[in-house]
Amino acid sequence: MSRTSFRLALTGLAAGLSLALFQPAAQAAEGGFKPPQLSWSFSGPFGKFDRAQLQRGFKVYKEVCASCHGASLVAFRNLSQPGGPEFTPGQVAALAGTYQIKDGPNDQGEMFDRPGRPADRFPSPFPNEQAARAAQGGAYPPDFSVLAKARTYERGFPTFIFDIFTQYQEQGPDYIHALMVGYEEPPAGVTLLPGQNYNKYMPGHLIAMPKPLSDGQIEYPKGPDGKAPVPETVDQYARDVAAFMVWMAEPHLEARKRMGLQVMAFLVIFAGLLYYTKKKVWSRMPDGSPAH
Amino acid sequence: MAHATDTSTGTTRRDFLMLATGAAGAVGLGAVVIPLISQLAPDAQTIAAGAPIDVDLAPIAEGQAIKLFWRGKLIFVRHRTKKEIDEAKAVDIATLRDPQTDEQRTKPGHEPFLIIYGNCTHLGCVPLGNAPGDPKGDFDGWFCPCHGSHYDSSGRIRKGPAPLNLPVPPYAFTADTKIKIG
Amino acid sequence: MSGHSSYVPKTGIERWLDARLPIIRLAHDSAVSYPVPRNLNYLWTFGGILVFMLVAQIVTGIILAMHYTANSLMAFNAVEHIMRDVNYGWLLRYLHSNGASMFFVAVYVHIFRGLYYGSYKAPREVLWILGVVIFLLMMATAFMGYVLPWGQMSFWGATVITNLFSALPVIGETIVTFLWGGYSVDNPTLNRFFSLHYLLPFMIFGVVVLHIWALHVVGQNNPTGVEVKNVQKDTVPFTPYATVKDIFGMVVFMILFSWFVFYQPNFMGHADNYIPANPAATPAHIVPEWYFLPFYAILRAIPDKLGGVMAMGGAIVVLAFLPWIDTSKVKSMSYRPIARQLFWMFLLVCIGLGYLGAMPADEPYVTISRILTVLYFGFFVALFIVGLFERPKALPTSIADAVLASANGGSAARVATAAAAEPNVKG
């Protein structure tokens, strides 16, 4: 077989597989607008979280979202681990102490409340899904622990193939941010039932959650000049909380990307060495004659 | 050699012995297989948990539907509107893929209540149509989002890949607005 | 390639062991002196890559099982526990989940390579059928593995696929109940799937041993499809020639693998599987893993349920009959002008079906799936017919000639005899 047709076969297979591989995942934006693609500090092969942003995002979560949304897989201690918001262990212990955690049973066989410890997980706002639904008019506020990975929108062909090379994978935070800023008056012809709200980016546009954020609602820590380093707007709150949610869903993202770089560098060098070894080995046949 | 002289009886006896031994082995093997296979079937607790349940239909307002679980399977209970009942009755059953009249799918005197299993007969997804905002399909019943099956207001398959109507679970009215499923 | 052994025990201990358990001889004969055609291209490194993937999946899988809990109430959180708390747990889990996809990437390249170069033809029928068995076992393993995280896609995928068995007449419903261990997909189902997911890789391993054994009996096919005639001229010993080339192929493949593991770990998964399983709500789109999509499209293309299941099964089983479906004596499609066109069309049809499998079951997708399903099976019919009349190009007389010809830029090429159909006699 000639070399060209071999190459043809190889590229054909590669192209074919890359086409077949990557079906669009679950659709979040069906019949909606595509969320705008934002630039995130943690995207790309060298991506890292912006500590200050995660700390602000935590503040938004704690002061607004946490009244309805749990994050039951995240422990207080995670807030001080490397690659996250990196609060100091002292701050984390103090924070955990402000929560009451149900523990027990004690010697009398009763459950009791005690102050939280860093090893405790965030307490959920509702004891169970039914209680949440009962309190929220039938809608269930989803848990935030992995939500940033559980939300996406249709990328479509051929964008999803380009995503392999651009490493775009921030559908989750883009969608979350878009949802926060996507509340609108319903267009003519759409009537809202009680408990429904209109959101441009929600699949189907009807969402039970009322607009959660408004400008100036959360006070960010002031910089040395006495002003908050970022604007206190819905857009900024949404970015910060979305980034925080990505960290909650993928707490080892930084370690993963860092190791990825090391592994890639090693493999490329190793492959290079192997390539020349292979060439050397194949330059002579077993009887010592030249290969061709 | 002694047995050379009475080959016939020896052979018979040996044949019988071989047969008996082989049969005993086969029986033993078969007996061993029974527990190995039957452990796969639902266990006693699962079966017990699948005992009949009582449901009160009074709280379901006209036009509303509830979902409940029985034996891990979803059941829809729909309080149908007059329009939906009329539509269900008006269908010429000769045109149906799985011909059944609305009378066969409800209990006499209790036509407003439709009680059916809530898993699409195609591949087991949950059709939409219970919540007020849900799509109800082209026939005022249910619409399965997985592969696009449409069910009418009697839970009968009208369009799409599903082969059968949504089955009616075994149930009986114990009072005017009370049923026992199972 | 069997029959002779060039192994000479050097030390006393080796001689002692060789007389009792000739295991070093076995290793020497199959991995050192084993002759490989000298004209193999890089598509032949995928066999070695697949062995690597199998071992990688088994190793990461055994470790994950040490931290996982197969219980419907705990499974989802157990996977998250691995991802969050276990040392390097995120790495092992992403290696395993992306490893499954990479395994299928490699196996599809391997299958299409075999298809193109006629590696299923005599005397390699048994080798090929064993490969189809491995493929089936891989699909079963991957399917059950995907259920274990107990997310929405796990649960609903399991529901859809197990329900396929209910299409069988009479015994269908019973089989489904026995698969579930209850009246629906539930905790007993998760438990038995975990058990079988742990078992099946070792069965794959066993069949792989048979596959390699069969390979070493008949020898490797090669891009010309001309059998080895002169071991001296046509082949090189496995070590170091094939060894170093295979390892190079593996490392290049690992770069691709790492790209996904470290940079796009969820690209080939579904966002819905990060939502815990909920029997009362179906995801908007139930989509199987990408490697099942072509078969899923065939399933959905047939309007009848039993017919769909039969077509899907048939699409895989038909591969096992390829050695007898293809009527041409010429192995490599490089020398088969018509069959080669068919091959590329078949590849496109498979890709098209894969795309359609991910689309909702609406028009125009349904109609296109039906057309492509017909074309999928049509390929096998066409292969049967084309072999009867196709005039193959002249084959090289031997592998060594082919190597020489391509080294000389193909000008001195094809010294071949017009006696196109080479004899299928083993050298």
- Contact between C180 and C188 (Cβ < 8 Å): yes
The answer to whether residue B134 scores a pLDDT higher than 90 is no
The partner residue sitting opposite C258, judged by closest CB among A157, A267, A291, is A267
- Condensed to tens digits (0 to 9), the pLDDT of residues A68-102 reads 999 999 999 999 999 999 999 999 999 999 999 99
Distance in angstroms between the alpha carbons of the first and the last residue of chain C: 8
Whether C290 and A73 lie within 8 Å, measured CB to CB: no
- Mean pLDDT (chain A) is 87
* Interface contact flag, C304 B145, Cβ < 8 Å: no
Taking contacts as CB-CB distances below 8 angstroms, the residues of chain B near C359 are none
Q: How many CB pairs under 8 A join B and C?
A: 73
Neighbour count for residue A12 (Cβ, 10 Å): 18
pLDDT at residue B146, rounded to an integer: 62
List, as one string, the DSSP characters of C4-46: -------SHHHHHHHHH-THHHHHHHHHTS-EEETT--GGGGH
Of A5, A149, A281, the CB nearest to C241: A281
pLDDT average, residue stretch A277-281: 95
Helix ranges (H only) for C259-398 are 293-301, 305-320, 322-325, 337-357, 365-389
Kindly tell me the burial class for residue C300, based on how many C-beta atoms sit within 10 Å of its own C-beta (0-12, 13-18, 19 or more).
buried
Residues A100/A112, Cβ–Cβ less than 8 Å: no
Neighbour tally for B82: CB within 10 Å? 11
Q: From chain B, pick out residues whose CB is under 8 angstroms from the CB of A196.
A: 133
Pick from C274, C357, C410: which is nearest to A149 by CB?
Answer: C274
Q: Are the beta carbons of B146 and C184 separated by less than 8 Å?
A: no
Sheet holding B157-159, edge to edge: B140-143, B150-152, B157-159
ipTM of this model?
0.91
* Interface size, chain A vs chain C, as Cβ–Cβ contacts under 8 Å: 168
Residue B2: which pLDDT band, with cuts at 50, 70 and 90? Answer: very low
> Contact partners of C by the rule of 3+ C-beta pairs under 8 A?
A, B
3-state SS assignment for residue A51: helix
B-interface mutation test, from C300, C369, C370, most B Cβ less than 10 A away: C300
A67: nearest Cα among A145, A137, A146, A135? A135
Of the candidates C160, C188, C305, the beta carbon closest to that of B163 is on C305
Cβ atoms of C150 and C277 within 8 Å: the answer is yes
Instruction: Look at residue A269 and tell me whether its pLDDT is greater than 70.
Output: yes
Quote the minimal CA–CA distance from B86 to chain A in Å.
27
Q: What is the mean pLDDT of residues B132-155?
A: 80
Residue type, B141: G
Residue A227 CB contacts under 8 Å (≥ 6 apart), including other chains: none
B2 min Cα distance to partner chain C (Å): 43
B146 interfacial to chain A (CB closer than 8 Å) = no
- Taken as a whole, chain A contains a residue count of 292
In percent, the amount of chain B with pLDDT more than 70 equals 91
pLDDT of residue B9: 62
Identify residue A206 by its one-letter amino acid code: L
* Chain A residues close to B132, C-beta within 8 Å: 193
Q: Check the CA dihedral C85-C90-C92-C96 and report its sign.
A: positive
Q: Do B161 and C361 touch (CB under 8 A)?
A: yes
Mutate which of B98, B147, B150 to test chain C, going by most C C-beta atoms within 10 A?
Answer: B147
Residue-level pLDDT at B68: 87
Q: Average per-residue pLDDT in chain B?
A: 84
Residue C408, Ramachandran bin (φ over 0: left; ψ between -120 and 50: alpha; else beta): alpha
- A206: chain B residues, CB-CB within 8 Å: 133
> Taking CB atoms and an 8 Å cutoff, what residues of chain A touch B133?
193, 196, 204, 206
Q: How far is C303 from chain B (nearest CA, A)?
A: 6
Q: Enter the tokens of residue B53.
A: 């349940």
- Between CA C40 and CA C37 the distance in angstroms is 6
Both structure tokens of A95: 């924070």
Q: What is the pLDDT of residues A142-167, one digit of tens each?
A: 999 999 999 999 888 889 999 999 99
pLDDT at B177: 85
Whole-number Å distance between alpha carbons of A139 and B29: 56
What are the tens digits of pLDDT across the range C48-59?
Answer: 999 999 999 999
Residues ≥6 apart with Cβ < 8 Å to B65: B76, B77, B78, B79, B129, B130
Tell whether the model's pLDDT for residue B147 goes beyond 80.
Answer: no
Task: Name the residue facing A27 among C105, C284, C402 (closest C-beta).
Answer: C284
Please list every residue in chain B whose beta carbon sits closer than 8 Å to the beta carbon of residue C190.
Answer: none
Q: Can you give the pLDDT at residue C417?
A: 39
State residue C128's pLDDT score.
98
Q: Collect all residues of chain B within an 8 Å Cβ-Cβ radius of residue A198.
A: none
Put simply, the answer to whether C255 touches A268 (Cβ < 8 Å) is yes
pLDDT for the residue numbered B7: 54
Chain A: give the shortest CA distance to residue C255, in Å: 6
Residues C122/C252, Cβ–Cβ less than 8 Å: no
Contact call for residues C77 and C191 (beta carbons, < 8 A): no
- C-beta atoms of C251 and A270 within 8 A: yes
pLDDT of residue B51: 84
3-state secondary structure of B69: strand
More confident: B95 or B7? B95
pLDDT of residue C416: 41
Chain C nearest C-alpha distance from B42 (Å): 4
- Residue B1 is predicted with a pLDDT of 45
Q: Which two tokens stand for residue B131?
A: 């919540």
Annotated catalytic residues of B are: 147
Instruction: Identify the pLDDT of residue B48.
Output: 86
- The region, left, alpha or beta by phi > 0 then psi within -120 to 50, assigned to residue C68 is beta
Report the alpha-carbon distance of residue A30 to residue A152 in Å, rounded: 10
Q: What's the Cα-to-Cα distance from B90 to each of B93, B102, C63, rounded to whole Å?
A: 9, 9, 61
Q: Report the alpha-carbon distance of residue C421 to residue B90 in Å, rounded.
A: 69
Contact by Cβ (8 Å): B159, B174: no
CA distance C127 to chain B (A): 32
Q: Which residue of C has its CA nearest to A289?
A: C233
Cβ contact B43–C303 (<8 Å): no
Distance CA C79, CA C154 (A): 13
Q: Which residue of A has its CA nearest to C331?
A: A1
**Tokens coding C389:** 């009349």
| pLDDT tier for residue B145 given thresholds of 50, 70 and 90 | low
pLDDT along chain C (427 residues), means of 10: 75 94 93 93 97 98 97 96 97 98 98 97 96 97 97 93 89 92 92 97 98 96 94 92 96 98 96 90 83 94 89 96 96 96 97 92 87 97 95 93 79 40 40
End-to-end CA distance of chain B: 73
The answer to whether C164 contacts chain B (CB < 8 Å) is yes
> C178 vs B163: CB contact, 8 Å cut-off?
no
Per CB-CB distance under 8 Å, the chain C contacts of A16 are 347-348, 350-351
Asked if B59 reaches chain A (Cβ–Cβ under 8 Å), the answer is no
Q: What does the pLDDT average to over B85-96?
A: 87
Residue C64 identity: L
